[in-house]
Each structure stands twice: as C-alpha cells, then as structure tokens.
Amino acid sequence: MIYLFNESYIPGATAVGIKFNDGVLLASEKRVAHGRFIASKNTNKVFSISKNTGAAFAGMIGDMQILAREISAHIKIRELDIKREMAPNSIAKLLSVIMFERRFAPYITQIILGGINGKASIYVLDPVGSVIPDEYASVGSGAEAAIGVIEAFYKNNMNEEEVKELAIKAIKAAIERDAGSGDGIDMLIIKKSGSNKESLKL
C-alpha cells in the first residue's frame, strides 16, 4: 500500500501572502504533522528565492525544499543570461512550467509566490502549475480559517505593521482550528529596499 497520496499522511500547513503599500509579506507556521504524529515543531516553509521574490509553501517538506532550490538555480542562470533581475511574474511563469512538466509525478505542494518589481504582486500555484494572481492568498490545510480572517480585515494600502498583525491573526486562527498547523510563525517581508525574515514563537 502506498501512503504518499493518502490524505492522513500528507503534512498539514498554513501559509499566507498579503500585499501592502511598500511590498509583500509571506508567512507560514512551523509544524510538520503526518496524520496524528507531529514530526517537527521548527520547520521553515518560507523561502527567499531571488533578491526581490520569495515563496511560502504548504505540502511535503522535501518537495518544497527541492523546488525552492531548483527555481533559485533557474533564476540565477536566467538573470546571468538577461543581465537583469527577473520580475515576479516571469518567475511565476517559470515555476508554472517546472511544475507542469512534473504533472504526472507532481511535487506535492501548493505555493504562494510574492515579490516586487516596481509594484508588489502575489501568485498562487497548485501542484500542476496553475497560476492565479491575487491581492492576498492562503494555502494548506488551515487555509479556510486563515483566508476568512484576511478577507474580514484586509484593505487597500495597508502598511507593513498592519499586514504583519493581520498575517499573525490569520495564522493563529488556523492554528486554533487545524491540528496540522502550529508551533510558531515565520514571516518574509519583501520591499524595494530589500527583504528580511522574522520569526515568532507561539
């Protein structure tokens, strides 16, 4: 019997992405749970994949780590070729192609890609490479709880502190309702001036 695609063995997760007036915020909780077993309480699911772009993942940990390294390598090669930074929409298209090529043996992960190139942008990708642009997004087993909070409080032109508070509130709501999410929050803030990562223990 193969358990890889059995829902009870796929790790739970909650990841969110929100645009704000100066950039984009990506955040995720830190738990890895396989069914009723908590495998880790300190896992990174938010990655910086280029100077101006990051990604938050939900799904199989190995798949998200390999995919983050693969897309980062492709970006570096492409930027050497074009002699400029890749825009987030181009990275989203490239990531979509990589995932679609693997559609018969897909990476078991959902992705929120966020970045800034003149203006902030967010894209959601599913395991077979569909790309959906949005103002904010949530993926993972706790997505329903998180997106409800974001939709209730999100407004245009929020500042960085407001978006941090909203992301924390959304992920905390998911943690309270989803056993596969918990143990802390990682946040990646990407702005024109650069990016920085923050962690919050719960």
- The pLDDT, as a whole number, for residue 162 is 96
User: Domain 13-200, CATH 3.10.20.30 — does that match?
Assistant: no
Angle at 143 between CA 138 and CA 149, to 5 degrees: 80
pLDDT for residue 159 is more than 60: yes
Average per-residue pLDDT for the chain? 91
pLDDT for residue 93 is more than 60: yes
- The pLDDT, as a whole number, for residue 7 is 52
- The pLDDT, as a whole number, for residue 21 is 92
| Position with higher pLDDT, 38 vs 24 | 24
Structure tokens at 196: 């920085």
pTM: 0.90
Mean pLDDT of 116-138: 94
Q: Long-range contact list for 81-89, CB < 8 A, 24+ apart?
A: 85/50, 85/51, 85/52, 85/117, 86/50, 86/53, 87/115, 87/117, 88/52, 88/53, 88/113, 88/114, 88/115, 88/116, 88/117, 88/121, 88/123, 89/117, 89/121, 89/123, 89/133
Query: Quick one: DSSP state of residue 118?
Result: S
Q: State the catalytic residues.
A: 14
- The pLDDT, as a whole number, for residue 5 is 47
pLDDT for residue 3 is more than 80: no
